[in-house]
Amino acid sequence: MRAGTRREGAASTGEAEAGADARTRRVEVERAVVELACRQHGVVGRSQLRALGLADDAIDHRLAVGRLHRLHRGAYAVGHPRVPRDGRWLAAVLAAGQGAVLSHRSAAVLWGLADRDGKAVTVTVPAWRRDRPGLCLRSAALPDDEVGVRAGIPVTTVARTLLDLARFEDARTLRRMVHEAEVGALLDDRAVGELLDRHRGRAGTRALANVLADRRLGADRTRNELELAFLELVVDGRLSPPRTNRMVRVGASDIEVDFAWPERSVAVELDGHATHSTRAKFERDRRRDRLLQAHGWRTVRLTWRQLATERATVLADLRRLLEAGSDGAP
């Protein structure tokens, strides 16, 4: 074989090997893109694609042929444009750049403190930038302890989210969000206290502090103190004595209630500070209330704050319930 032929054969073999290596690399990149999207609710960022080895022209080609779909500038859905809500949120964070986190009302929905997000996703970024279509950008230099991750999405902590929203939400909405945080075991009193001290004088701190102070009223009272306070109310109001910790038959179940007037089908449950310490207990209490009501009972839930600050109203409501009660036990 002539030398030229050998050189040509070697070149052809090298080209084939190089072509095979390139195809292997493309397969690996495609697999990495899919795996990344699967971890990120179906979305990826341009900077992430670059880190995987895709050049800008390769990214643009994927956009042109429909393998990527633009959600925001620099953030894309992989394969198809329909992504879940978590994907929409993460795409907004990716589009906002380094240091961006989901915040405000969007963060509240992600944490389960609110039901509805705004039309635009709210994201906090380290330095001021203009809003973009579909993005509401807030600027703040957030310390590490005011940022967390939920469902793989960088987000302000529950404490910081509440503080941010305290500037914009009314007291009733803020109280509801604090309640949801408590029910979900997401509220860290120490973290919130430190945050309020750190941002003293900032808009919203007083509103949040007032809601928390109202929530803590009676938190240091024991269960026995709460029960005694209710019994004092009954005696002072000259109501008939209730049965204490009474088991009542409801359908096929026996249910224990704190106080009961079986002959009137009226039950009173006392909610202390720790009553809703877990979501499971919250759900059990509501199931018990539903069963009682389905079998003709009327259940009243009272807190220490109500016994301390709404005494006359609580007494009047109880009297009306007892006077309207049935004459026979259920």
Most confident listed range (155-164, 269-278, 285-294, 300-309): 155-164
pLDDT of residue 2: 58
Domain locations along the chain: 3-78, 85-216, 223-324
Q: How many Å separate Cα 17 from the centre of its chain? A: 53
What share of residues in the chain are helix, strand, coil (percent, to 5)? 50, 20, 30
Q: Across the chain, what does the average pLDDT equal?
A: 86
pLDDT at 286: 81
Residue 24 phi, psi (nearest 5): -60, -40
Q: Are 262 and 246 in contact (CB under 8 A)?
A: yes
Phi-psi region of 97 (alpha: psi -120 to 50; beta: other; left: phi over 0): left
What confidence score (pLDDT) does residue 329 get? 43
- Tens of pLDDT, residue by residue over 144-172, are 999 999 999 999 999 999 999 999 999 88
Name the architecture of domain 223-324.
Answer: 3-Layer(aba) Sandwich (3.40)
For CA atoms 180, 186, 188, 191, the dihedral sign is negative
Query: How much is the pLDDT for 307?
Result: 87
pLDDT in tens, 40-89: 999 999 999 999 999 999 999 999 999 999 999 999 999 999 999 999 99
Lowest mean pLDDT, pick from 94-98, 211-215, 263-267: 211-215
Strand order in the sheet with 121-125: 135-139, 121-125, 101-102, 153-156, 147-150
- Contact between 152 and 40 (Cβ < 8 Å): yes
Which residue, chain included where needed, has tokens 């509103």? 207
**For the sheet containing 68-72, what is the strand order?**
43-45, 75-78, 68-72
Across the range 89-111, mean pLDDT stands at 97
Q: Which amino acid is at 327?
A: D
More confident position, 235 or 249:
235
Q: What pLDDT shows up at residue 275?
A: 45
Of residues 307, 326, 328, the one with CA closest to residue 317: 307
Do strands 121-125 and 101-102 pair parallel, antiparallel, or not at all (unpaired)?
antiparallel
Q: Find out whether 76 and 68 touch, Cβ atoms under 8 Å.
A: yes
| Helix H or strand E segment including 300 | strand 298-303
Question: Between 158-166 and 189-198, two packed helices, what is the crossing angle to 10 degrees?
Answer: 50
